[in-house]
Amino acid sequence: MPELRGTQATPEVKAEWTRAYDLYLEAPGVAYDKKKDRTERIDYVARKLNLTRKQAKRRIRNYEAWQRNLKKGLVSP
């Protein structure tokens, strides 16, 4: 439903995505392997926020999609 894009997430949820992504960026990763790097970073976020890997991964993925949609002008901040 493109017409509802960005309106379903509350500011609290977006803040949680941002917090998870900030932890993702500060997490130590694996420099030589992209897939392992992302996996290690997601594991780090999951440990820090006491989430399952699936929940941490979803928060990071949602943040990245939100930023793509902002860049395209599809949603408002």
pLDDT digits (tens, 9 = 90+) for 28-72: 988 899 999 999 999 999 999 999 999 999 999 999 998 998 888
Is 19 within the bounds of a domain? yes
Residue 45 covered by a domain:
yes
pLDDT at 4 over 60: yes
Selection from 17, 49, 44 nearest residue 28 by Cα: 44
- Residue 1 pLDDT: 55
Task: Judge whether 11 and 76 are in contact, CB under 8 Å.
Answer: no
What pLDDT does 74 receive? 76
Number of domains in the chain: 1
pLDDT of residue 62: 94
Tell me whether residue 1 is in a domain.
no
Please state, in angstroms and rounded to a whole number, the distance separating the CA atoms of residues 65 and 43: 20
Instruction: Quick: pLDDT tens for 9-33.
Output: 888 999 999 999 999 999 998 889 9
